[in-house]
Amino acid sequence: MSNADLPPNDAASPQEPRLKGHALIADYVTRLDGSPGVYRMLNAAQEVLYVGKARNLKARVSNYARTTGHSARIARMISETTYMMFLTTRTETEALLLEQNLIKQLKPRYNVLLRDDKSFPYILIAQDHPFPMIRKHRGARSVKGAYFGPFASAAAVNRTLSHLERAFLLRNCSDSMFASRTRPCLQFQIKRCSGPCVGKISEEDYGRTVADAQRFLEGKTSSIQKELAAEMMAASEALEFERAAALRDRIGALTTVQQSQGINPRGVAEADVIAVHMEGGQACVQVFFIRAHQSWGNHDFYPRAGVDVEEAEVLEAFLAQFYDAKEPPKTILLSHAIEDDDLMIDLLSTRAGRKVEMIVPKRGEKAELVENALRNARESLGRKMSESAAQAKLLAGVAKAFDLPSPPKRIEIYDNSHIQGAHAVGGMVVAGPDGLMKSAYRKFNIKNSELTPGDDFGMMKEVLTRRFERLLREDPERKSDAWPDLLLIDGGAGQVSAVHEIMLELGVEDVPMVGVAKGIDRDLGKEEFHRIGKRPMALPRQDPVLYYIQRLRDEAHRWAIGAHRAKRAKATLANPLDEIPGIGATRKRALLAHFGSAKAVSRAGQNDLMEVPGISAAMAETIWNFFNDRG
């Protein structure tokens, strides 16, 4: 790979180029060859406008040198181009990979961008324990075990897990909880676990149920149900009615799982079904996950496109960005053909370490799956466009109500949550033209130990200082969309005045802020709005803008309380054994198995501690000192 920046005129600096647009590009073409590579188009401010790949750089870039035949978007991009950069690669697939890496890094204005690149959950049957557990997993596959997915949402995983627990009675508790049990837990009582922690099932029998669950998740459902039906009949004939009833319940649970999957294609074992619908310059990409002949849910994406962008361009960009950190399946079914499908297949096959097939089906079951995805994409985009129109109207109303120069594109709402200062957390939620922007939500653990318990002003100062100091450090010129157009503060004149002083200290004086306070009666609907240098105001009870502000405030309250409760629960459930140097998972399990609880460990003497397997005299002294040197 080599860099090939070719300045068109040595006498002209990049800031003041002599050539521009078509003439500039034509000048570059004279010095390019037919190598594969990646090109970048920049404007006078050195901002990257577009990143593209080429099998043949000279041929591809020469297309931009033409003065006619371009769409409005491309013509506008060409007119803004004052500089270009080139990177040649050894292969065309390398060019595609480099292009997507640069798009992800630079986020150029004229490229199609996948804005919601989320990770998807899996079901994990862990295999690092004699009695494997089944649970939801998200992130790197660092735990030894069998992974099944992806599922479209956490709700889809939780629903499937719930049915699988009923069908196979696999445990979902942590290893430390498993080791510390002396009696069966509630899961065993409600027949959702076979009780391996207290010896209610042998390791061999439990292993068979694990194997059955794995076969089911691999799609071998009919054989499992036939075997269970045969076992149920045999148990019934042997007058083992309790066992027969348990097997009947397992068969029913398996049937429920299959019914809840919705689409269950017989001829497609593993595929992602991807369809795109475009309307009014907006795009919706719908992805259905087919695994083990079952539908494991669907998810919609709304990549940034443009009025004159074609479906093929959206799909090609989506595929490269979507599978950047995800393993592609064996088959990908598409609603539209893409231009460089051979390059995309090579790239995805390289990432997967096996052959990936890409099909645009025309008939049969696969075509029906694509048509279903396309219909969902069309309906989802229709709903989103309707919601966006209503949202735009609300934001225009906010601008009018609070004398803003234009409808805000980013509203940040702040709230704090604590109990007498304990486990204090600050929360920030964000709203914009597309509604609530949940990927932009943030929570701030209050770190200042010198704050007086319950000092809301001090907490808000810490939250805003951390938020805006980072913004000033990362984007001092405010080129990104991370800067808010409006701050909503839960509070009255005092809170607004305090926030104003904080912002002045930070040197941020031009971000409007509004305090939302309950009225004299503290009655919902009688909120007063406070602004710096202006009298308090109210909105009519039936005003949609009032309802909108209330929803934003309530969302910030919900987010802050949720973060506070999670922090409090984590502190409550924290095991002091985790804080002892040298105590890992194995020693922790041994201690809990021997003593039954961390509290019992804290009361034990050094001689008692040494009786635990793996606890030496030195380690016993370390544990004893940890619990007895705390004052």
Buried/exposed 294-313: b ≥16 CB within 10 Å, e otherwise = bbbbbbbbbbbbbeebebbb
Residue-level pLDDT at 11? 36
Helices (DSSP H) in 152-200: which residue ranges? Answer: 154-168, 175-180, 186-189
Instruction: Report the pLDDT averaged over residues 125-149.
Output: 87
| CB contact at 8 A, 253 and 192 | no
Mean pLDDT of the chain: 85
Between 150-164, 222-236, 245-259, 302-316, the lowest mean confidence (pLDDT) is in 245-259
Q: What is the CATH number of domain 411-570?
A: 3.30.420.340
pLDDT of residue 30 exceeding 50, the answer is yes
Residue 328 is given by DSSP the state: -
Q: What is the CATH number of domain 576-629?
A: 1.10.150.20
pLDDT of residue 360 exceeding 90, the answer is yes
- Pick from 537, 556, 437: nearest CA to 490: 556
Residue-level pLDDT at 14? 45
Around Cβ 258, how many Cβ atoms within 10 Å?
16
- Pick from 316, 313, 323, 267: nearest CA to 290: 267
Residue 113 is given by DSSP the state: B
Residue-level pLDDT at 25? 93
Question: Does 83 or 249 have the greater pLDDT score?
Answer: 83
| CB contact at 8 A, 3 and 61 | no
- Pick from 341, 295, 293: nearest CA to 319: 341
Torsion angle defined by CA atoms of residues 515, 521, 522 and 523, in that order, rounded to the nearest 10 degrees: -110
Encoded amino acid at 181, one letter: R
Residue-level pLDDT at 62? 94
Q: Helix axis angle, 92-106 relative to 341-352, nearest 10°?
A: 80
In CATH terms, the fold of domain 271-383 is Nucleotidyltransferase; domain 5 (3.30.420)
Distances (CA, A) of 505 to 416, 449, 468, 542: 21, 21, 11, 38
Residue-level pLDDT at 495? 86
> Percent of the chain, pLDDT > 70?
90
| CB contact at 8 A, 119 and 36 | no
Strands (E) located in 11-105: 37-42, 48-54, 83-88
By the 10 Å C-beta count (0-12 exposed, 13-18 middle, 19+ buried), 425 is classed as buried
Beta pairing partners, 136: 123
Residues of the chain with CATH 1.10.150.20: 576-629
Instruction: Report the pLDDT averaged over residues 319-335.
Output: 91
Q: Helix axis angle, 72-80 relative to 21-29, nearest 10°?
A: 80
Domain 21-111: CATH architecture, name and number where available: 3-Layer(aba) Sandwich (3.40)
